[in-house]
Structure 1
Amino acid sequence: MREYFLNHSPISFRFAQNSKDFIVSEIPLYSWSGEGEHLILHIRKKNQTTWEMVNSIAKVLNIDSRNIGYGGLKDKHGLTIQYISIPRKLENRLSEIEKLPNIKILATHYHKNKIKIGHLKGNSFFIRLKKVSPMSAKKIAEVLKTIQEVGIPNFFGYQRFGIDGENHKIGKEILEGKRYIRDRKKRKFFLNSYQSYLFNLWLSERIRFNKMVDEFSTSELAKALQTLGISIQNIEVLKSQPHHFKLLEGDFMLHYPHGKGFYLKLEELDEVVERFQRRDIVPSGLLFGNRVKHAVGESWDNFEKRYIEHGNLADGGRRFAWIFPTDIEWRYREESFWFELRFTLPKGSYATSLIEEIAKRDIR
């Protein structure tokens, strides 16, 4: 179970990830060049995953699905507006794509390169919550004001773990050699789910630690950390940090919203904390695997080393541990008891995690 960083009580509402109440629109990383050998399709889809859409288009065009580029994988549920690329020479066959159910081409562009996974700036969302009482609407608005001010933990959403929430277990079995999946794409998908599961465990542990730092006195905290086997050099410095996410010596920081990373050194803590407050940089968490930098020092010894796995690994990476949603707007429709909100997240972040932070409960 994930940890919530805010202290409000759970808020009651109904959330349904359908094409009317959950809409996501991709924000491309760059402008299209207007020339080149690739045709960019701005597509609206529903009731199918990105993979399912790509396979359907590949089949109708009689091409290998690997010739179709996309920047991000979108869920089956909800209405998705995203970009894909196909070879420009197929432009005269767009009418065949438009015959496919639940797919609509909104616009086309030319570009020099094929779209690759990760070629996204972020995603904008529209979400409608239902059965929201006036009192709950006030609570939701207060939570959103806090999120506007301080951001949220960057948990992987429940979609990452499959319909039954068990995909990470399959990934663990693959890693341990207890299961073999021939399809390379599916094998990587399950391994990534296990990476995500361990990341969420680590992030929950750090949030529990952060809340303890805020809520305990210095002497209480010293005793609690000793009991937990956590060794921190300077507890007073730790408690002086204003943000909900307390930084530790050895944390691997990333420039936000994109850029290179660096290790937090104790002598640079004040400056780094200030830059975190300014949203210039954020702490990162480990996606275990090959060719990835681990945390060091206090961050590694007390937390990250517990979430390392070995075996037939996929490539690893670092993921923002904290993000700052932008363009947050909301409106309460009291006559319908609907609460409508809009916001933008960086690529790879989950709107459902933000909704769960508001609800302070599992929303599946």
Structure 2
Amino acid sequence: MSWLDFTELAKAHGEALAKAIFKAYCEDFVVEEVLGITPTEEGEHELLWVEKTGQNTAWVAKQLAAYAGISQRQVSYCGLKDRQAVTRQWFSLHLPGKQGPDWQQLNIDGVNIKQVVRHQRKLARGCHAGNRFVIRLRECQVDENHLTERMSRIQAQGVPNYFGAQRFGHGNNNLTRANQWFAGEWRPKKNQQDIYWSAARAYVFNKVLNFRVENNLWNELITGDVLQFNDSNTLILPDKIDDTAKQKWQQAELIATAPLWGKGRLLSQLQVAEIETKLAKEEGLLTEGLVSGGVAMARRPLVVYPQQLAWQQQQDSIEVSFYLPKGAYATAVVRELVDW
């Protein structure tokens, strides 16, 4: 089956400024997790601030569990981080009534323990606030004025909040497997089902957002939109959007949303509901599979605004840095600058 690929999604700010080499080295993609809470410095859980290079999060969690002599189920983290990168993130280990091992003696290639502190609760998926990124794009030549103009537009208008390619697996394999599962041709193990549900929801969301970008509606407020506060999950339904809400939308305090498909009521109305329903029906097998699986209908902002955005050119490379809230993808920003 042919899927709408991440590279084919519509761009909001015009054609790419150049072609570039992206992630040539792990050091070209640096991610630092922002936890958003202050450790209590006491409790049953030991928090580790870990810098990893060229290693994936789940593998590191397994090594930490083995070194501490505990089950892998007793190790948790806020989210998966890229393998082909330098990432700094928190892990929590449940160690009730005992001290952790000497972490300075840990010897794992590409893993460095930067800080150890106790905390009263384990880390849950998605409990962090966001991530800081420092990205180097190599072998690209861009006119300085064009780069500044593009960055200024991104800063002012944000970028489409697409799910990144990694959500769909290599060659969109997660989508293909989800399609096979929902068609009754195959069934994943129970602990892997979330991967395929997530891929299906993300694909339908990207398709709706792609339509709105193509039609210059991605950062427009149209009839029937559902708004969400940019610092919380609180929604404003279409019949509650008054002049105050419209003003908050203009100030980017509220952002229009698209559906994360599932079981339940589609909250949008009129023009927006018509668009979303039509596009969802085109992916009937995916949407029906999500409903049958009991995945709850939700919403996701159409736009993400990179914060602390900075950039500099160095000979034939560009270095870009910014902060994104959790759930947003750095590649959604990079694709508005270069093709890679």
The TM tier, using the shorter chain, reads 0.7 to 0.9
Q: Structure 1: which amino acid aligns with 2:213? A: I
Aligned to 1:55: 62
* Counterpart among 247, 251, 267 of residue 274 in structure 1: 247
Equivalent residues of 1:174, 1:191 under 8 A apart: no
Structure 2: distance between partners of 1:125 and 1:26: 9
Selected match of 1:132 from 126, 129, 140 = 140
Distance 1:203 1:254, change over 3 A: same
Query: Would the alpha carbon gap of residues 293 and 30 (structure 1) be closer, same or farther in structure 2, given more than 3 Å must change?
Result: farther
Deviations 1:50-99, CA, capped at 9 Å, x for gaps: 12221222233343322112111112111110001002356432438822
Q: Partner amino acid for 2:239?
A: K
Q: Which residue of structure 2 aligns with residue 232 of structure 1?
A: none
Instruction: Answer whether contact 1:249 1:266 (CA < 8 A) is retained.
Output: no
Distance in 2 between the 1:174 and 1:292 partners?
A: 24
The answer on 1:349 being equivalent to 2:324 is no
| 3-state DSSP of counterpart to 1:120 | coil
Distance 1:91 1:139 in 2: 55
Residue identity matched to 1:355:
V
In the alignment, is the contact (CA less than 8 A) between 2:175 and 2:199 conserved in 1? yes
How does the TM-score come out when normalised to structure 1? 0.82
Post-superposition CA distance 1:198-245 (Å, at most 9, x none): 11111001111226xxxxxxxxxxxxxxxxxxxxxxxxxxxxxxxx61
- After TM superposition, the structure 1 = structure 2 runs for residues 117-266 of structure 1, keeping only pairs within 5 Å, are 117-135=125-143, 137-182=144-189, 184-210=190-216, 245-265=219-239
Give the AA of the match of 2:215.
F
Alpha-carbon contact 1:38-1:114 (below 8 Å) kept: yes
Cα distance in 2, alignment partners of residues 73 and 9 from structure 1: 28
C-alpha contact 2:18 2:142 (8 A) present in aligned 1: no
* Residues 148 and 177 of structure 1, relative CA distance in 2, 3 Å threshold: same
- What does residue range 265-344 of structure 1 map to in structure 2 within 5 Å? 265=239, 268=242, 270-290=243-263, 293-307=266-280, 309-311=287-289, 312-313=292-293, 314-334=295-315, 337-344=316-323
- Whether the aligned pair in 2 keeps the contact of 1:286 and 1:304 (CA below 8 Å) is no
Identity of aligned residues (%): 24
Q: Secondary structure at the match of 1:145?
A: helix
3-state SS, counterpart of residue 172 of structure 2? coil
Q: Tell me the CA shift for residue 318 of structure 1.
A: 1.7
The question of whether the paired residues in 2 share the 8 Å contact of 1:60 and 1:97 is answered with no
Q: Which amino acid aligns with 2:271?
A: E
- Deviation digits for residues 7-58 of structure 1, max 9, x if unmatched? 2454222212632110000001211112211111100112222122212222
Report the alpha carbon displacement of residue 176 of structure 1 after superposing the two structures with TM: 2.7
Give the distance between the partners of 1:101 and 1:21, measured in 2 at CA: 19
* 1:6 alignment partner in structure 2: 13
Residue identity in the other structure for 1:332: Q
Q: In structure 2, what is the equivalent of residue 239 of structure 1? A: none
Give, in whole Å, the separation in 2 of the partners of 1:174 and 1:96: 45
Decide whether the 8 Å contact of 2:17 with 2:147 is kept in 1.
Answer: no
8 Å contact kept, 2:36–2:129: yes
Taking structure 2 as the reference length, what is the TM-score of the superposition?
0.88
Aligned to 2:115: 107
Calculate the aligned-residue CA RMSD, in Å.
2.2
- Whether the 8 Å CA contact 1:125–1:343 is kept in 2: the answer is yes
In 2, Cα distance between the equivalents of 1:3 and 1:346? Answer: 22
The alpha-carbon deviation at position 320 of structure 1 amounts to: 1.5
Instruction: Tell me which residue corresponds to 2:4.
Output: none
Number of equivalences: 324
Q: 1:271 to 1:92 in 2, by over 3 A?
A: closer
In 2, are the aligned partners of 1:153 and 1:321 still within 8 Å (CA)? Answer: yes
Amino acid at match of 2:52: K
CA distance 1:175–1:63, shift in 2 (3 Å) = farther
Equivalent residues of 1:85, 1:114 under 8 A apart? yes
Shift of 1:347: 0.3
Q: CA deviation at 1:330?
A: 1.1
SS at 2:126's partner residue? coil
Distance 1:266 1:114, change over 3 A: closer
Output the amino acid matched with 2:139: K
Q: Distance in 2 between matches of 1:247 and 1:125?
A: 29
